[in-house]
Structure 1
Amino acid sequence: MNKLCFYKEIKLIPFQIGEVSQEWKVIQFKDILINKKNGIIKGKKTIKGYGEKYPYLTVEYLRTGNVKEKSILVDKRLLVNQKDLLLLWDGSNAGEFFKGKTGILSSTMIKFVFDEKKNIDFDFIFYCAKKFVQPILKNSTKGTGIPHVDKNILLNSLIPLPPLAEQKAIVQVLKDIDDLIEIVENQIKTLQRIKRALMEKYFSEGVFEHKEFRKTKIGRIPKEWEVNKLGNVAKIIMGQSPPSTTYNTQGIGMPFLQGKAEFGNVHPSETKYTTKPLKIAKIGSVLISVRAPVGDVNIADKEYCIGRGLASIKVLKVDNFFLFYFLHKERTKLQQCSCGSTFQAIKKEHLENFLIPLPPIEEQKEIAHRLKEIDEVIENRKKEKEHLIRIKKKMMDLLLTGKVRIMEC
């Protein structure tokens, strides 16, 4: 890595995108394309049949790397590589930029062909597109049915352009931060996999020494454990939404949770309040989403009014965190208990009849304690990631405008 030096720019010129170093150019997006006609290539629908197949570049594939479908290449111009800049052209997230991956351009995407004679660095343009162009495009989509990008706004959007050497130096800094973010993301994913494996082990083998096991309706468990219906060890309260005229966001009355939207990793975060609570979840109750999506759980860290998208499980003969983690593990089974033709929902009787394991209370608490410990590590990694994202945003604000200049020492 080359050594870089930073210094503060004194002379800035105001533009629509903000103040930019006077030594930089500010150009329109169309200025770096090969031309208006051939600089934008629209994708096509997936094509089935025989022949060499490539990953079809859906948004999910670009975000997660999970290939859901493949397509035959019928036009070489639709082949995408890692040095292509893509834009989601239509749909609810229209206006979002992506770096390309090997595959075939989907029908909702476009890719750009840049003028190789221009002194531009691909990664620098990507960072500029994310910072300066994407917010404008997402706020100016048009169309009465499916929203799509306004082409004129795209082509006329402004981006700053420093000398090529400085573009590359800026990219080096931002990529270093991106690499750190990726490392932390991978750590989080690894920890989550470990947590899932531990939950499978703890809820079938326990954490204390057990020599004998038995088969039950919920699987193999230690001989000393019981199996019981949830309704026998907890009181279930189905939510009921108060009149909308009682809602407020000023903190007046009791915190109100309508559904999963307010859930966090363990505890919810309210955004609304009500002056006429109807159904109340007590502190320590397990909260469960009973309308699509079914099965997500949290723990009430205070008293909440709960709407019809939630139920409260007030524990009587079971540790609340033990139950929280067990229901979290069994989310798929809970979803299978749901019903409804319009949207999925789970009934109170299904929750009451849901079978759970019951180790001695000391072992319940120990299982919950061990899972809490790994959750704390995961939460710390998430905070570290959020901190790095804030650093990156600040660095983009400074470096992509030339407010802080950068060069090789």
Structure 2
Amino acid sequence: MEVKPGYKRTEVGVIPEEWECLPIADLAAPIANAIVGGPFGSDLVSADYAHDGIPVIRGQNMGGRYLEGPFAYVTEGKANSLSANLAQPGDVVFTQRGTLGQVSLTPNEPFDRYLVSQSQMKVTLHRDKVTPDFLFSWFESNGGQQSIASSAIQTGVPHINLGILKSLMVPAPPMAEQRAIATALSDVDALLTQLDRLIAKKRDIKQAAMQQLLTGKTRLPGFGGAWQPCAFNDVLERLNVKAHQLQTSDYQTVGLHPVVDQGQQPVVGYSDEGERRFPCPPGGVVVFGDHTCIVKFVDFDFLVGADGTQVLRARPDHNTRFLAYELQREGIQQTGYNRHYKFLKERRFKMPPLVEQTAIATLLSDLDAELAALEARRDKTRALKQGMMQELLTGRTRLP
């Protein structure tokens, strides 16, 4: 394919003429131990861990823009004895083995140094050649991730080593452009962090509302009186959906009709087999995982996925959505890959009148809708960020 004027083809793809394409080795600071892994196995063992001190970078601390706790620690003395394996604020940390592709920055606070574990590697950068935020963004992008994956040693546990890390190629725009790109992407990250916090807060609010409203500890305005104890068969009936079942091997990624099974996802696949479609009754149904104990409320027509998917409907004078929320609040404890419907049938309920059930279910459903809107906004923002990374990190779109 012809390269348009002003661009050139490199190891990382087509980039602007004035950009460089350099290996990490050329972007590292001109100091000792600028690129280093963790200590030898016997030099850092679990017995070295302390309650506080110098944090140790392990796999569970990786994955976000910045390293995050909880950390294991070693004493100051132990860290000093492994000084060659220390990372400083602003260093870029890569996973060497395990979840390849994990890249994180060491934050400026609250620690002034970290000990790199045996499964990580760190790079101290030459700040006149590349900014940490730009390098992080490149390796977070599809291009950077693909370069790690394609360079990995696949024998045994897939891994990379210091030699591979040093050879990974990076597009290097002029410093001012690097900073502009990193700032734009960091702003999107800040928005994603804000949305994550809003979603977590909204989920906490919903959980608290479920605990209060579904137990009668808090009553909605206008409602009073005692709730009635009921057995499972008083409030729910199991529907025969065998004619609507679809084997897992027949799931499609696209199709006319959704498939709902006992897994966590609301919709697990699709099918074009309309004759097997289950016509969802007014008021919806509860889907219970006989093996998984997962409870979902469904109010659309669907095909029933595989064995173990139980479909329940509220009996007259009861609200199916209310019962779904109650089973989500306090369900059945999973005991491995066993059948659990027999335990669900022993479940007892305290039921308010139908009008109060409906009011509670409506309030909780509104909270679910708010959560779904926030999650959709977060998903769109993530997609926007991916598009921005593809454009900005390759120079297809230039910032002023």
User: What TM-score do you get using the length of structure 2 for normalisation?
Assistant: 0.79
Does residue 1:182 correspond to 2:193, yes or no?
A: yes
How far 1:110 moved relative to its partner? 2.1
Contact 2:56 2:117 in 1 (8 A): yes
How far 1:185 moved relative to its partner? 1.5
Structure (1 or 2) with the greater strand fraction = 1
Structure-2 separation of matches of 1:309 and 1:361: 30
Does residue 1:230 correspond to 2:223, yes or no?
A: no
Closer/same/farther in 2, CA of residues 251 and 169 from structure 1, 3 Å limit = closer
Q: 1:218: which partner in 2?
A: none
Closer/same/farther in 2, CA of residues 328 and 107 from structure 1, 3 Å limit = farther
Q: Number of paired residues?
A: 373
Aligned letter for 2:131?
A: D
Contact 2:51 2:72 in 1 (8 A): no
Aligned letter for 2:103?
A: F
SS for the counterpart of 1:190 is helix
Question: Which of 219, 222, 232 is the aligned partner of 1:207?
Answer: 219
- Pick which of 51-60 and 283-292 moved more: 51-60
Closer/same/farther in 2, CA of residues 142 and 119 from structure 1, 3 Å limit = closer
What does 1:218-297 correspond to in 2, within 5 Å?
224-236=226-238, 251=255, 255-261=258-264, 263-264=265-266, 268-271=267-270, 282-283=280-281, 284-292=284-292, 294-297=293-296
Closer/same/farther in 2, CA of residues 63 and 290 from structure 1, 3 Å limit = farther
Question: Which of 332, 357, 364 is the aligned partner of 1:364?
Answer: 357
Aligned letter for 1:194?
A: I
Structure-2 separation of matches of 1:239 and 1:70: 51
Q: Percent identity?
A: 19
Structure-1 separation of matches of 2:6 and 2:68: 47
Does residue 1:95 correspond to 2:101, yes or no?
A: yes
Structure-1 separation of matches of 2:279 and 2:96: 44
Structure-2 separation of matches of 1:32 and 1:302: 56
How far 1:379 moved relative to its partner? 1.3
Aligned letter for 1:207?
A: R
How far 1:353 moved relative to its partner? 1.0
Contact 2:61 2:71 in 1 (8 A): no
Closer/same/farther in 2, CA of residues 201 and 245 from structure 1, 3 Å limit = closer
How far 1:197 moved relative to its partner? 1.2
Structure-2 separation of matches of 1:57 and 1:238: 53
Question: Which of 89, 92, 95 is the aligned partner of 1:85?
Answer: 92
Contact 2:248 2:305 in 1 (8 A): no
SS for the counterpart of 1:397 is helix
Closer/same/farther in 2, CA of residues 63 and 180 from structure 1, 3 Å limit = same
How far 1:370 moved relative to its partner? 0.7
Closer/same/farther in 2, CA of residues 235 and 150 from structure 1, 3 Å limit = farther
Structure-2 separation of matches of 1:396 and 1:70: 33
Structure-2 separation of matches of 1:112 and 1:227: 63
How far 1:300 moved relative to its partner? 5.0
Structure-2 separation of matches of 1:242 and 1:200: 35
Q: Which runs of 5+ in 2 are unaligned?
A: none
Q: 1:375: which partner in 2?
A: 368
Structure-2 separation of matches of 1:145 and 1:275: 46
1:70-127 CA-to-partner distances (Å, cap 9, x unmatched) read 2314223444454221222222x322222235554343322223345x5211101100
Contact 1:289 1:295 in 2 (8 A): yes
What does 1:10-409 correspond to in 2, within 5 Å?
11-34=6-29, 39-42=35-38, 45-48=45-48, 52-63=52-63, 67-68=69-70, 70-73=72-75, 74=78, 75-91=82-98, 93-100=99-106, 102=111, 103-115=114-126, 118-131=128-141, 132-138=143-149, 141-149=152-160, 154-204=165-215, 205-209=217-221, 224-236=226-238, 251=255, 255-261=258-264, 263-264=265-266, 268-271=267-270, 282-283=280-281, 284-292=284-292, 294-317=293-316, 318-331=318-331, 334-335=332-333, 338-339=334-335, 343-407=336-400
Contact 1:251 1:273 in 2 (8 A): yes
RCO comparison, higher one (Cα < 8 Å, 6+): 1
Aligned letter for 1:232?
A: D
Q: Which runs of 5+ in 1 are unaligned?
A: 1-8, 212-221
How far 1:25 moved relative to its partner? 0.6
SS for the counterpart of 1:228 is strand
Contact 1:281 1:306 in 2 (8 A): no
SS for the counterpart of 1:406 is coil
RMSD of the TM alignment (CA)? 3.5
